[in-house]
């Protein structure tokens, strides 16, 4: 398959485009960034990613009036102790979606429950395994309707879905039922998290139903834009990661899309937050 066709296919299925960055050596050859890391060297500067200034206008000039932030916090209580709420206050999203809270609602930190700017909070945690998974949604304005779970007991008990924000890959659902939706969160398999063929296929199935990955829609050629880095091997400093966190929109919402951002400098979890700007 020609290189250009491969790139277009990868964008369609939500895959990341990471061109090997070559570094000259004293012998006149080159090594990739991955090979450099194996040798104990930092990757070349070209492997770095810098977030650009926010675009607050739609294509037809409408101003952004809705901001949604999604963050896989890898444990809410530990995340709070890292002064993460200061970051949230500075970002000031209208809706804050949290994943992997790993605590029951009765164990929520007081600092979170008492946030005056988010009086409307909705939490879902695992009923079968304490300290496992869990999601939450915090809103400045009360939603018109809130639905917990997806009607599949096997998955509803896990605390992985709340308010139609995310769905397990194995769940079969007719996405055409929802004509105007935003799907926010980290797209990974519960028992085998990673950039697996199963997860990529599951995400591709969502896009095949007519949904759009907001970041790749706006930035089709941007490389090294990741949202997750393992704690092993100093991966974050070397920017060796995966883009696991997404905002997925129905096509009806594309005219309202201003920007989709990766806040890669927020260091309080193995995931960084992502933020969506919409003009509604």
Which residues are part of a known binding site? 72, 100, 270-271
Helices (DSSP H) in the chain: which residue ranges? 3-12, 33-38, 76-81, 84-91, 110-113, 153-156, 197-208, 214-218, 235-238
Q: Say if residues 44 and 254 touch (Cβ distance below 8 Å).
A: no
Give CA–CA dist 231/234, Å, rounded.
6
Nearest to 136, CA basis, from 107, 108, 99, 110? 99
Cα 59 to Cα 154, 182, 222, 276: the distances in Å are: 42, 19, 20, 15
Give CA–CA dist 51/203, Å, rounded.
24
Q: Say if residues 55 and 258 touch (Cβ distance below 8 Å).
A: yes
Residue list for the binding site for Mg(2+):
72, 100, 270-271
């Amino acid at each position: 398959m020609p290189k250009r066709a491969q790139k277009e296919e990868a964008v369609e299925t939500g895959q990341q485009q990471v061109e090997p960055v070559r570094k000259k050596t004293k012998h006149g050859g080159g090594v990739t960034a991955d090979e450099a890391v194996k040798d104990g060297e930092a990757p070349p500067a070209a492997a770095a990613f810098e977030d650009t200034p926010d675009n607050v206008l739609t294509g037809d000039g409408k101003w952004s009036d809705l901001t949604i932030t999604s963050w896989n916090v890898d444990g809410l209580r530990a995340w709070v102790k890292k002064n993460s709420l200061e970051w949230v206050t500075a970002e000031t999203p209208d809706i804050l979606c949290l994943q992997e809270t790993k605590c029951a609602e009765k164990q929520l930190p007081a600092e979170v429950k008492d946030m005056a700017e988010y009086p409307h909070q909705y939490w879902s945690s695992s009923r079968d395994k304490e300290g496992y998974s869990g999601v939450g949604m915090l809103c400045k304005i009360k939603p018109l309707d809130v639905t917990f779970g997806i009607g599949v007991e096997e998955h509803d008990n896990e605390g992985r879905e709340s308010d139609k924000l995310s769905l397990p890959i194995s769940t079969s659902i007719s996405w055409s039922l929802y004509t105007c939706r935003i799907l926010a969160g980290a797209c990974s398999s519960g028992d085998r998290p990673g950039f697996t063929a199963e997860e990529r296929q599951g995400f591709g199935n969502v896009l095949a139903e007519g949904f759009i990955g907001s970041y790749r829609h706006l930035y089709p050629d941007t490389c090294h834009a990741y949202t997750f880095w393992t704690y092993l091997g100093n991966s974050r400093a070397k920017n060796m990661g995966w883009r696991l966190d997404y905002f997925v929109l129905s096509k009806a919402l594309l005219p309202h899309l201003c920007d989709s951002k990766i806040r890669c400098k927020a260091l309080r979890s193995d995931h960084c937050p992502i933020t969506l700007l919409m003009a509604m």
